[in-house]
Structure 1
Amino acid sequence: MSLITSGRFQTTVLGAAVALACSISAQANTLTEKMTLDNVTVFIRGAELFNSGKVTLPAGESEVIFTNIATGLNEQSLMVEADNGVVVQSSGVRRDFLSENVSPEVESLKKQIEAEVREQSKLNVQREVIQAQLAVLESNRALGSEKEGTSVEQVSQMLQLVNGKMNELLMSDIDLREKLVEVEKNINKLNNQLEEAQQKSAQAVNQVVVKFYAPKAASSNIKLSYVISSAGWVPTYDIRVDSITEPVKLGYKANVFQNSGINWDKVNLTLSTGNPSEGAQAPRLSPWYVDLYRQPILSSKSARYDREASVPMAAPAPVMEMQEDRVVQAEMAAAERRAKTSKPLSDYVVTDVGGVNTRFSIALPYNIAADGKGHSVLIKQVDVQGDYRYVVVPKLEPDAFLQVQLKDWEKLNLLPGKSNIFFEGSFVGQGYIDIRRVKETLDLSLGRDKKIVVTRENEKQVTGKAEFFGNSVSQQYTYTLDIKNTRKEPVKLVVQDQVPVSKDASVTVEGLKYDGATFDKNTGEVQWSLDLTPNELRKRGLSYTVKYPKDQQVIGL
């Protein structure tokens, strides 16, 4: 039988063959290359990752799939560069849902579970051995009691020996069962934790797909960078003072965190300052106002305004804090908007409200796991000269706080952050460095010093009760302060107190006596600056009289 083919059929077969050949050629020109993460610039919010690789391309167009790419990258920030005459035609991000993306936390939990399961198997084997030994002993006990010609004494000795051994084995079996219960609990806990970790890391693996054109076959060095949001760093400080006669040892550190889906292994870190957070540390006096009580008007609108007017105006600081919070939130939102633009995030680092923006390039390679936890990175250690003093506000707290006043603090490039304070070789607590409220000097709080003893007592014998003179009432207040330096060296001490400030002309504060202190009539703050020798005791007094109409009620006292 002969096969007859038409011209149309031949054309179809030829087209299919050509298409198949093109498909095979296209597949042959699709390469896969794992990128190496070399450098990372970490910002307060976000990071920019710089990768490198090398590809060998044939002449013409080629498609390369780059792996080891972080999750959550900003596609608009993706930049690909090639050398040796190779042209980057296009690039994009593809999510590979088939590849398993196992986080370091998941890997660690799986290893822990495997170890517990092995321990469980060992304990079960030991129990099986004990059960086999018990069976042998039981058979020997029965055989010994039935064996003829054996004296009662021999049978008794054998049974005693068998029973003792069985008792030992049974007690060992109890111990093994208790251990198995604990192992089972650990396995259940680890499985629950593993399930939670797998849910958190259940995200597609990113790949970057790039089309290249090479005029001729060539090898090309590839540079690839992009921005992610799941990283950042938090500034922290170690402040060490060995003696108030020596400089402050300041350690500037960063807690770097990232949850990008890939580990940063032996990368060169660059830390860039960004949006600071707000905080406060030591007690701070606010103006103390007194005013006359006003009967609220019945009108709902007027009553609301009247209530607002009758509240003491002693809290301008929270309003300022709210305004600063809005500034910080606006800066964070602006940073996120900048991260969505086509330029790299490093082009959008701006000067912070309270200081200068700085980039810290770390010479040593670091390993930062993708676990979302903070990894401490030392930025620098410096000895800082400053003037030491103690500050005490006995009206609020009897303890004196050691402070160091740093000049030229702008050169330190500090950000607001928590500080770990060590004084005379011991950890004394945590403080906070806030550079947004600095005037001439940066005052760092170094903790409490119990060796500065300050008491503030109300002199009841001098303080008079309310006295009525005509249409007015006078109330006298008198306080005595005892201040003692029990340290072995002289100290400078600032003692702060205050008197009320009147907001109504009919309420007056008069007869003010403050024993050589400075007085700010706008805020009512009274301040003594003292130089105390070792074991020196000083006494200071504060008194004033508040006078107001007798038919009115004063609020704020």
Structure 2
Amino acid sequence: MKLLFSIALLSSLHTFSFAQYQKNATPNIERVTVFLNQAQIESSYAGNLTAGSTKIVLDNIANTIDPNSIQVGGQGDFTLLGVKYKPNFLNAKASVLKDSIDMVKSDIENLDMLLNVALNEERMIMANASIKSEKDGVLPEDLKEMIEFFRTKLTEVGARKLQITRQIEPLKDKKARLEKQLSQDPSLRMPLGQIELSVSAVKNTNAKISITYIARNAGWSPNYDIRVKDTNSPVNLTYKASVYQNTGIDWKNVKLSLSTSNPSQSGQKPEVYPQYLSFYQPNMMRAMRKSEEGVAMALESAPIADMATAANIVEMVETSMSVNFQIQVPYNILSGVGPELVEVRNYTANAAYNNIAAPKYDNASFLTADILEWEKLKLLSGEANVYFMEKFLGKTYINESSVDNKLTVSLGRDNGINTKREELEKYKSRKTFGSNVKESFGYKITIKNTKNVAVDLIVEDQVPVSQDSDIEVSFDGSEGATLDAATGKLKWTINLAPGASKEIEFGYTVKYPKDKRINNL
């Protein structure tokens, strides 16, 4: 019997020495780099490893993970044997939300039951509230005592009803919010992930492991606030980011980075294939189809860009091809609850302010700010809110692909300058010369400065531009006008003293064949 026990004990010890231990843990999210339409999540795990093989199961991994992007690093006297990702169907946030909804629903049902009890108790009290008259022997003293009794009972029941009702309302509101979150966030219906790490250690050791991966359904878009104190001050531009994420996990108290790179775009250079030309021949259709099939096969077999990995993305962020903003303040970005506004930077830029009027389209004058050398700010295309003298004026759009070295922002109407445009009959004529017709047009622009200060004003108008050699347009001239021949834009720069007025006249002539009609004249 002793021999059998010793053999069994040795067998048990032998099995134990080769057993694989398992640790379940939730990694701590430390940093998130948000790209324009993806995010790189960097998390860590620290713990003790027992000598031998250990399987570390890391829970609460984003359900939009790109498994091919997982990278693992670490510090400690151990060896990483393998990495595996799998969905954890027991850890879906939808299940947690449904459990919460069921619990709230159960609390509401219990309170409804207590409310019904109170209502029935109230009805019973009222049903026994009939009081007999003095002829039946009810004395005033008895009546007073009964009134006090019913007042006490009804007050008690009423207070209980009020308390129950006040408890029900916030529960109903909570239930509605949970149900809305469950219905609007599709990521919640997806199971969260698990990353399994197989490690081996010769002896007990401390380990610190870093895990990095790419998650989809996250990104950011820029928007701006442009503020102008007055026309003697520079422009203040606040660069903000609207950050969203629907990865199924919350980013709490994380270091946030915003990158202008787009890792989803292929970095593979396109291949240029031969473009063969030949004359169309009906009996060659079959051969042409075969040729097209060959080209299609060549396209299918052409090399496809490798999937972007975390290493490639980090390297791209560090190059001059993109800008990476390191946000110094930790942020909470919750999954599925809408964008979070993050302030990125504040810029102060020099600006040139102008009053511009285009009386052909509007009698008002408009104050504009030309933000100079704005391309040095490395802005992305996005919407901007415009404020002038602490008043919101509206929105404008910043176009990063603009080739201009200035960004013009309208600061609104300047009601102190009025303009008027009218047609002049003395210029208007239509004459026939042989096979051609000449039509002349003329206009007068009147400007009035009603301010008590002098203003510089740019006035814009236009003459038509010909797109046909048979149509000739001649500008009859105007004092101080500059003409852009390519666009037909006319521009005057004038100075108006306080209360002063000025008139501008200009005209043009169009010559064209008399048997033709001209559009847009």
TM-score range, shorter chain: 0.7 to 0.9
Q: What per-residue deviation string (whole Å, max 9, x for no partner) do you get for residues 317-341 of structure 1?
A: xxxxxxxxxxxxxxxxxxx967534
Find out whether 1:447 has 2:411 as its counterpart: yes
Whether the 8 Å contact between 1:488 and 1:535 is mirrored in structure 2 is yes
Find the counterpart in structure 2 of residue 346 from structure 1.
Answer: 314
Find out whether 1:272 has 2:259 as its counterpart: yes
Q: 2:479 aligns with which of 484, 503, 515?
A: 515
- Matched residues in 2 for 1:103 and 1:216: separation? 40
Whether the 8 Å contact between 2:182 and 2:188 is mirrored in structure 1 is no
Q: Secondary structure at the match of 2:129?
A: helix
Find the counterpart in structure 1 of residue 183 from structure 2.
Answer: 196
The answer to which of 233-242 and 482-491 deviates more is 482-491
Q: Secondary structure at the match of 1:422?
A: strand
Q: What per-residue deviation string (whole Å, max 9, x for no partner) do you get for residues 393-441 of structure 1?
A: 33344444433223343442222111111111111111111232132x3
Find the counterpart in structure 2 of residue 239 from structure 1.
Answer: 226
Find out whether 1:436 has 2:428 as its counterpart: no
Q: 1:386 aligns with which of 351, 361, 386?
A: 351
- Matched residues in 2 for 1:435 and 1:139: separation? 81
Q: What per-residue deviation string (whole Å, max 9, x for no partner) do you get for residues 286-324 of structure 1?
A: xxxxxxxxxxxxxxxxxxxxxxxxxxxxxxxxxxxxxxx
Letter in 1 for 2:194: Q
Find the counterpart in structure 2 of residue 256 from structure 1.
Answer: 243
Q: 2:382 aligns with which of 383, 403, 417?
A: 417
Q: 1:458 aligns with which of 422, 425, 448?
A: 422
Find out whether 1:98 has 2:87 as its counterpart: no
TM-score (ref. length: structure 2): 0.77
Whether the 8 Å contact between 1:237 and 1:420 is mirrored in structure 2 is yes
Q: What per-residue deviation string (whole Å, max 9, x for no partner) do you get for residues 502-546 of structure 1?
A: 122322112522331111112212112234444443322231121
Find out whether 1:136 has 2:101 as its counterpart: no
- Matched residues in 1 for 2:218 and 2:393: separation? 31
Q: 1:474 aligns with which of 432, 438, 463?
A: 438
Find the counterpart in structure 1 of residue 505 from structure 2.
Answer: 541
- Matched residues in 1 for 2:314 and 2:520: separation? 52
Alignment of 1:45-64 (within 5 A): 45-64=37-56
1:470 shift after superposition: 3.6
Q: Secondary structure at the match of 1:343?
A: helix
Whether the 8 Å contact between 1:116 and 1:186 is mirrored in structure 2 is no
Letter in 1 for 2:395: Q
Letter in 1 for 2:28: T
1:161 shift after superposition: 11
Find out whether 1:80 has 2:48 as its counterpart: no
Find out whether 1:502 has 2:466 as its counterpart: yes
Find the counterpart in structure 1 of residue 273 from structure 2.
Answer: none
1:208 shift after superposition: 1.0
1:26 shift after superposition: 6.5
Q: What per-residue deviation string (whole Å, max 9, x for no partner) do you get for residues 467-510 of structure 1?
A: 43443222222222233444555444333222111122322112
- Matched residues in 2 for 1:436 and 1:515: separation? 36
1:126 shift after superposition: 4.9
Q: What per-residue deviation string (whole Å, max 9, x for no partner) do you get for residues 240-288 of structure 1?
A: 1111111111111111111111111111111112369xxxxxxxxxxxx
Letter in 1 for 2:137: G
Q: Secondary structure at the match of 1:347?
A: helix
Find the counterpart in structure 2 of residue 493 from structure 1.
Answer: 457
- Shift of the 22–450 alpha-carbon distance from structure 1 to 2, 3 Å rule, reads farther
Whether the 8 Å contact between 1:338 and 1:345 is mirrored in structure 2 is no
- Matched residues in 1 for 2:239 and 2:165: separation? 49
- Matched residues in 1 for 2:504 and 2:478: separation? 8
Structure 2: give runs of 5+ residues left out of the alignment: 264-303
Find the counterpart in structure 1 of residue 25 from structure 2.
Answer: 33
Q: Secondary structure at the match of 1:95?
A: strand
1:120 shift after superposition: 7.5
1:381 shift after superposition: 1.7
Whether the 8 Å contact between 2:18 and 2:52 is mirrored in structure 1 is no
- Shift of the 55–178 alpha-carbon distance from structure 1 to 2, 3 Å rule, reads closer
Find the counterpart in structure 1 of residue 297 from structure 2.
Answer: none
Q: Give aligned pairs, total.
A: 476
Whether the 8 Å contact between 2:456 and 2:496 is mirrored in structure 1 is yes
Find the counterpart in structure 2 of residue 524 from structure 1.
Answer: 488
Find the counterpart in structure 2 of residue 148 from structure 1.
Answer: 136
- Matched residues in 2 for 1:222 and 1:184: separation? 42
The answer to which of 263-272 and 76-85 deviates more is 76-85
Structure 1: give runs of 5+ residues left out of the alignment: 1-9, 277-335
- Matched residues in 2 for 1:392 and 1:528: separation? 10
Whether the 8 Å contact between 1:74 and 1:340 is mirrored in structure 2 is no
Find the counterpart in structure 2 of residue 375 from structure 1.
Answer: 340
Letter in 1 for 2:230: S
Alignment of 1:176-215 (within 5 A): 193=180, 195-197=182-184, 200-215=187-202
- Matched residues in 2 for 1:351 and 1:554: separation? 55
- Shift of the 158–98 alpha-carbon distance from structure 1 to 2, 3 Å rule, reads closer
The answer to which of 179-188 and 451-460 deviates more is 179-188
TM-score (ref. length: structure 1): 0.72
Q: 1:65 aligns with which of 57, 60, 64?
A: 57
- Matched residues in 1 for 2:204 and 2:156: separation? 75
